[in-house]
Chains A and B, each alone.
Chain A
Amino acid sequence: MNNNQQLIKTSLYDLHIEHGARMVDFAGYELPIQYKSIVAEHNHTREQASLFDVSHMGQIIIKSEDFASTAKALEKIIPANIIDLKQGEMRYSTLLNENGGIIDDLIITRPTNEQATDGTIFIVVNGATKADDFKFIKENLTKEIEISFEKHKSLLALQGPKAASVLSRFSDIVEKLSFMQSDATSIKDIECNISRSGYTGEDGFEISLNDKDALKLAKVLLDEPEVEFAGLGARDSLRLEAGLCLYGHDMNEEIDPISASIIFAIGKQRRIEGGFIGEKKILQILKDGAKQKRVGIIFEGRMPVREGAKLVDEQGNEIGYITSGTFSPILQKPIAMGYLPIKRAKISTEITAIVRNKQVNGEIVKMPFVANNYYRGN
């Protein structure tokens, strides 16, 4: 991001400051990294419910006259199965380049009739990449599909085991939604699109609404005794415990979804048929197997092993690297994600990292590090 460029303030900027937020430049936005304490906000999210301002994320709409046309056009770009989506269903996927490398990860929603006309698809992408993503999608969509940014919408996330009971005081939508489902509702006369989704591993909701209503809704939610603000710092440690990738760190344009251990971003049928950007390389990797793999590692002691740390074999040769790492507030241990050659990436094998010229021993473990708590009822 260009330093001369003015940082964008979200609709909740003043409220963040009022709550003692420490603001940082994130994807060109001025956003709270923390309020009082990252660890306290992290633990509050695991125990109660936290409100995150994620209005920097890109909300894109594509549409045509009918769902099948829009879905087919999007399937020509991304590797998910879109045509099968029912109204109100969401799906995680990626944008890929011709080499199968990940340009971004994203969430696709087929809205209900209450949310939009049936030829519409919602796409949410990362804040830092949204301008490039928009351009990429636009260039690759067939002409009859319209594409636009939701320029005047905020995105709030309410995450944690108490999120559902809090929201159910204002809307009966909660009992109708399972994990990765979406619908329209109103909260205190504020129109919202609510999705049961998030980036913390907890049950929770992402609420898209007009900028002009965001402050009012945030105050309504913060007035509930279980709800506190949480910042980007907690968001990062929570997603790490949940084993979720962060774009630009755990995946990038050099890494394909199979290596990134997010093969679920590619629809089952599409792994056979292809028909998306990067198909040739992806089908080849599916056939031959990936050379490396993203794994989760728990290290001994308390010293965090962070992005950029090398992973070495018994002889001290570099065989891999860490892409994200922190000290897990829940496990009270250092946790990390990194890449290793397939042969070295088996669960329960030992691995050594180098931090400040010292060896740190760890073990490859199954992710998530902390069990997720998604609501898959209904």
Chain B
Amino acid sequence: MKYTSEHEYVKIEGDIGTIGISEHAQNQLGDIVFVELPEVGKSFSKGDEIAVIESVKAASELYAPISGIITQINEQLDIDPALVNSSPEDKGWIFKIKLSNASELDELMDEEAYASHIG
């Protein structure tokens, strides 16, 4: 599992990255009521706005932590967006992306670095 400084995680299996927000991020956002998911098949460059997470209080943009093409989205979130709160790093994953530039992974933080990032 790798993390961005924006509190997204990337779980790598082969050339597919599963992306969501960290436990710390869901706790900071509070009750999540809606997730605007990207379209399957669309390609994104690292840093593009890719999804929006809405809590009761505010909307927060999610930026692509790596470049690639969306292969799958978590449609369960349309029915139960609170999965991002209850299970952010498992059932509350947001989308899967086929990596177009694996070297970008090197720029992400490992768990230890992320833990010290959030203090």
Chain A interfacial positions (CB closer than 8 Å to B): 33-34, 37-40, 42, 233, 236-237, 301-304, 306, 326-327, 329, 356
Contact = CB atoms under 8 A, between A and B. Distances in A.
Interface string B21-64: 00000000011011010000000000000001011111100000
Contacts of B58: 306
A144 B56 CA distance: 48
B20 interface: no
A299 B54 CA distance: 15
Contacts of B81: 302
Contacts of B59: 304, 306
Nearest to B34: A302
A302 B33 CA distance: 7
A116 to B, nearest CB: 38
Contacts of A356: 36, 52
A233 B56 contact: yes
B56 A237 contact: yes
B57 A327 contact: no
Nearest to A304: B54
Given A303-B36, A304-B59, A39 B54 contact: no
Contacts, number: 42
Interface of B: 30-31, 33-34, 36, 52, 54-59, 78, 81
Given A34-B30, A303-B36, A326 B56 contact: yes
Contacts of A38: 30-31, 55-57
B30 A304 contact: no
A20 to B, nearest CB: 11
Contacts of A233: 30, 56-57
Contact of B54 (A33, A34, A37, A303): A303
Given A306-B59, A327-B54, A37 B34 contact: no
Contacts of B52: 356
A234 B81 CA distance: 19
27 contacts: A33-B57, A34-B30, A37-B31, A38-B30, A38-B31, A38-B55, A38-B56, A39-B31, A39-B56, A233-B56, A233-B57, A302-B33, A302-B78, A302-B81, A303-B36, A303-B54, A304-B34, A304-B54, A304-B59, A306-B58, A326-B56, A326-B57, A327-B33, A327-B56, A329-B56, A356-B36, A356-B52
Given A38-B30, A356-B52, 4 more contacts: A37-B30, A302-B34, A306-B59, A356-B36
A33 to B, nearest CB: 7
B96 to A, nearest CB: 22
* Residue with the greatest number of chain B CB neighbours at <10 A, chosen from A38, A301, A302: A302
